[in-house]
Structure 1
Amino acid sequence: MSFVFAHNNFNVLNLEKSLAFYKQALGLEETRRMEKPDFTLVFLGDGRTPHKLELTWIKDRKEPYQLGDNEFHLAFTADDFEQAYELHKNMGCICYENKAMGIYFIADPDGYWLEILPKR
């Protein structure tokens, strides 16, 4: 028996805002959508790996999600780290930098952290 990663899930408050963020910040594209009366699932991919990010939008939710200490994150490598840094700096979404390690984090519209790593 073996297992393969399929996707990670983030619940989002504003689906359109989140889709625009992930497209602009990381180049993720919608690969599949599932519409239900109470919620919508949208799967995003990078076009190179099979891994997906599933965004779940609960249609009647009005309050932001409580992320606790937010001690989790997704990580992305950037083939042009300096260009990625400038994009995210201009977007105003960098929330933490660790220059000694050569990495930084960006926050999506709901406050989820995404680590940006240079390609090694």
Structure 2
Amino acid sequence: MNFKFNHNNINVLDLEKSLKFYKEALGLVEVRRYEQEEGEFILVYLGDGSTSHRLELTWLKGRTEPYNLGDNEFHLAFTADDFEAAYELHKKMGCICYENKNMGIYFINDPDNYWLEIVPVR
């Protein structure tokens, strides 16, 4: 038996705002969308154009309160082939929420406050 990563899911409050953020901050683009017939939810799968891994954004109709992320100790990590340019982009966007210069990494947060780790290619 062999298992492979397929996708990660996060729930988002404002789908369009999240799509714009993930495109601008990480270059992720929509590769698939599923809209439930009654309009209760929408699933949008984002891809990076070079791996098969997907980030699934789930939007739920009627949700008006931000999601409770608890201690928010989980995160997704992305490598950046041009770490300095990525850092400058994220600094300009105002989305850097934590830096660890000793480890050579930093984190950004998305519109729903999910943390995303940015690491250089090593």
The normalised TM-score by structure 2 is 0.98
Q: Could you list the per-position Cα deviations for residues 69-89 of structure 1 after superposition, in whole angstroms to 9, with x for gaps in the alignment?
A: 001000000000000000000
Of residues 84, 90, 106, the one that matches 2:92 is 90
> Unpaired segments of 5 or more residues in structure 2?
none
| Regions of 4+ moved over 2 Å | none
Q: Secondary structure at the match of 2:86?
A: helix
- For structure 1, list consecutive stretches of 5 or more residues without a partner in the other structure: none
Rounded to whole Å, the distance in 2 between the matches of 1:16 and 1:23 is: 11
Please give the alpha-carbon distance, in whole angstroms, between the structure 2 residues aligned to 1:5 and 1:82: 28
CA RMSD of aligned residues (A): 0.4
State, as a whole percentage, how many aligned pairs show the same letter: 76
Q: Which one-letter code corresponds to 1:114 in the other structure? A: L
Aligned to 1:110: 112
Give distance in 2, aligned partners of 1:42 and 1:30. 7
Residue 59 of structure 1, CA deviation: 1.4
2:59 to 52, 57, 60: 57
In the superposition, the TM-score normalised over structure 1's length comes to 0.99
The alignment of Structure 1 onto Structure 2 pairs a total of residues equal to 120
Q: Counterpart of 2:45?
A: 43
